[in-house]
């Protein structure tokens, strides 16, 4: 995939045909080669005219200035590279996935003190003086996972631009993992299939009340009302999402069956509901709030009502929190936390539910993200017009890196289906799942 973005033009003195061996690198390229080596899958072009990697590579990492090097040197881990990219001082021209493959192709790279000093000398006298981070970094304040701070974290991510999200997500306006019947299934069909799968797992029937926690742009509640006759309430903390969702509900002729609220799930008080869905919101809850989250949803369900919790999960043994000083924590999901699926099941059952099914969708989310990256790159100029070049780069890097993480099994995603049994233990669940044939 090619991005409609042009790196700076210059002539490198190391240019050579693919039939000859690359010459010995010099300048910044030589310093980088000290710890990356010369055998790279993509090219690296440096502001001083030096070059590293295959000269004829279709994908090129462009180090545009000394500022890029300063970001890398003064940032700890990935955040330095992210700041350089978001600010535009480091560019990826070509396939972002090929550029990100450097992380997997060179897993053991460590910069020695000598190599770090070589880079610092190349950066000049101010090389180790930190630069101000790009303004797109989140700065949320207050008590972690308080209602006020959660609202601020949600606003940082979702109150960007509905038009921008339409470019990225496509006509479905659905910002969660789709379900693909085949590799050739369209994104829109796969998102409709996901909603249908959730509705079938919940056993929705005409007249049932559905609560959708973190309703986004109303895709789930509209599908449930239109296809299953449900009366649905969707809650979100994003005012821009709610504005768009209410208009979409009116345009679809569903205003008599769908209500959209700007409301924290902890403030919903008009239960009981026959079913509850939570799709792509779980990552914002936080480990310290999981028991409160599931207990609240339990009280909002009638006996024999079902809960479908759809969320990204971490691998066992890894940390639950998205690194607060990493790229995702600073630029994308401040205060985001991922939970291992076994612990999620235990928390669900601790709240009083009975877990009836767990389904992994890891490969489906990798494919979903690749569709979103493709949409963004195909509409690059319009995206930049809507939200600016820095935020557009944030979304390109975040979505492409996330797709790689799902592909490599560094992250997972699961749907956990649970039921609030009646006092005598009846669940009203089918003896065999009646959604499997569809899925």
Domain boundaries, the chain: 27-123, 147-419
Do the strands 258-262 and 51-52 form a parallel or antiparallel pair, or are they unpaired?
unpaired
CATH-assigned architecture of domain 27-123 = 2-Layer Sandwich (3.30)
Q: Over 90: is that where the pLDDT of 404 sits?
A: yes
Q: Would the CA dihedral through 116, 122, 123, 125 be positive or negative?
A: positive
| Residue reference for tokens 């209602």 | 147
Residue 193 — very low, low, confident or very high, per pLDDT cuts 50/70/90?
very high
Structure tokens at 168: 């990225």
Beginning with the edge strand found earlier in the chain, give each strand of the sheet holding 411-419 in spatial order: 258-262, 231-236, 209-213, 273-279, 301-314, 411-419, 354-360
CB proximity list for 405: less than 8 A, separation 6 or greater: 411
Average pLDDT over residues 245-256: 98
| Cα–Cα distance measured from residue 376 to residue 369, given in angstroms and rounded to the nearest whole number | 11
Residue 210 — very low, low, confident or very high, per pLDDT cuts 50/70/90?
very high
Count of Cβ atoms closer than 10 Å to residue 13 Cβ:
11
Residue 109 — very low, low, confident or very high, per pLDDT cuts 50/70/90?
low
| Cα–Cα distance measured from residue 395 to residue 413, given in angstroms and rounded to the nearest whole number | 20
Do the strands 60-63 and 90-93 form a parallel or antiparallel pair, or are they unpaired?
antiparallel
CB proximity list for 301: less than 8 A, separation 6 or greater: 271, 272, 273, 274, 275, 276, 307, 420
Count of Cβ atoms closer than 10 Å to residue 213 Cβ:
27
SS3 content of the chain, % helix, strand, coil (to 5): 45, 15, 40
Q: How far is CA 39 from CA 97, 105, 256, 303, in A?
A: 18, 10, 62, 62
Residue 7 — very low, low, confident or very high, per pLDDT cuts 50/70/90?
very low
Count of Cβ atoms closer than 10 Å to residue 355 Cβ:
16
| Cα–Cα distance measured from residue 12 to residue 99, given in angstroms and rounded to the nearest whole number | 20
Average pLDDT over residues 308-334: 78
Residue 131 is predicted with a pLDDT of 85
Q: Over 70: is that where the pLDDT of 41 sits?
A: yes
Go through 230-250 and write b for each residue having 16 or more CB atoms within 10 A of its CB, e for each that does not.
Answer: bbbbbbbbbebbbebbbebbe
Contact 315, 412 (CB under 8 A): yes
Average pLDDT over residues 125-140: 75
Residue 319 is predicted with a pLDDT of 65
Per-residue pLDDT reduced to its tens digit, 155-173: 666 667 899 999 999 999 9
HEC readout, 53-76: CCCCCCCEEEECCHHHHHHHHHCC
Identify the top-confidence range among 104-113, 226-235, 401-410. 226-235
Across the chain, mean pLDDT equals: 86
What's the fold here for domain 147-419? Rossmann fold (3.40.50)
Q: Which pTM value belongs to this model?
A: 0.88
């Amino acid at each position: 995939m090619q991005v409609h973005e042009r790196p700076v033009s210059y002539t490198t003195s190391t240019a050579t045909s693919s039939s000859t061996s690359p010459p010995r690198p010099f300048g910044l390229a030589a310093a980088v080669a000290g710890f990356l080596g010369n055998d790279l899958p993509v090219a690296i072009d440096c502001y001083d005219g030096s070059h590293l990697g295959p000269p004829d590579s279709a994908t090129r990492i462009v180090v545009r200035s000394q500022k890029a090097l300063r970001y890398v040197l003064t940032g700890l881990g990935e955040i330095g590279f992210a700041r350089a990219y978001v600010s535009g001082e480091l560019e990826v021209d070509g396939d972002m996935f090929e550029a990100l493959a450097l992380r997997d192709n060179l897993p053991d790279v460590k910069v020695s003190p000598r190599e770090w000093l070589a880079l610092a000398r190349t950066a000049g006298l101010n090389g180790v003086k930190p630069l101000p981070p790009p303004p797109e970094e989140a700065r949320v304040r207050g008590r972690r996972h308080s209602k006020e701070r959660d609202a601020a974290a949600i606003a940082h991510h979702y109150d960007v631009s509905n038009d921008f999200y339409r470019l990225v997500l496509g006509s479905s306006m659905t910002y969660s993992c789709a379900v693909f019947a085949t590799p050739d299934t369209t994104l829109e069909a796969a998102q409709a299939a996901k909603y249908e799968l959730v509705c079938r797992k919940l056993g929705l029937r005409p007249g049932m009340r559905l609560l959708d926690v973190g309703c986004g742009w109303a895709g789930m509640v509209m599908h449930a009302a239109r296809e299953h006759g449900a009366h649905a309430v969707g809650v979100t903390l994003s005012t821009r999402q709610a504005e768009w969702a209410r208009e979409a509900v009116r345009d679809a002729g569903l205003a008599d069956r769908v209500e959209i609220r700007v409301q924290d799930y902890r403030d919903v008080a008009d239960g009981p509901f026959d079913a509850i869905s939570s799709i792509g919101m779980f990552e914002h809850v936080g480990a310290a709030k999981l028991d409160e989250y599931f207990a609240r949803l339990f009280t909002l369900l009638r006996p024999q009502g079902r809960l479908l919790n759809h969320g990204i999960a971490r691998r066992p043994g890894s940390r639950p929190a998205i690194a607060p000083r990493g790229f995702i924590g600073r630029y994308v999901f401040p205060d985001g936390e991922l939970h291992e699926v076994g612990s999620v099941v235990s928390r669900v059952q601790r709240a009083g539910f009975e877990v009836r099914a767990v389904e992994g969708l890891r490969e489906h989310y990798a494919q979903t993200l690749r569709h979103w990256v493709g949409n963004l790159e195909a509409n690059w100029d319009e995206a930049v017009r809507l939200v600016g070049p820095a935020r557009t780069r944030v979304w390109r890097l975040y979505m492409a890196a996330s797709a790689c993480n799902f592909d490599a099994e560094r992250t997972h995603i699961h749907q956990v289906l649970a039921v609030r049994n009646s006092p005598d233990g009846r669940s009203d669940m089918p003896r065999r799942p009646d959604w499997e044939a569809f899925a």
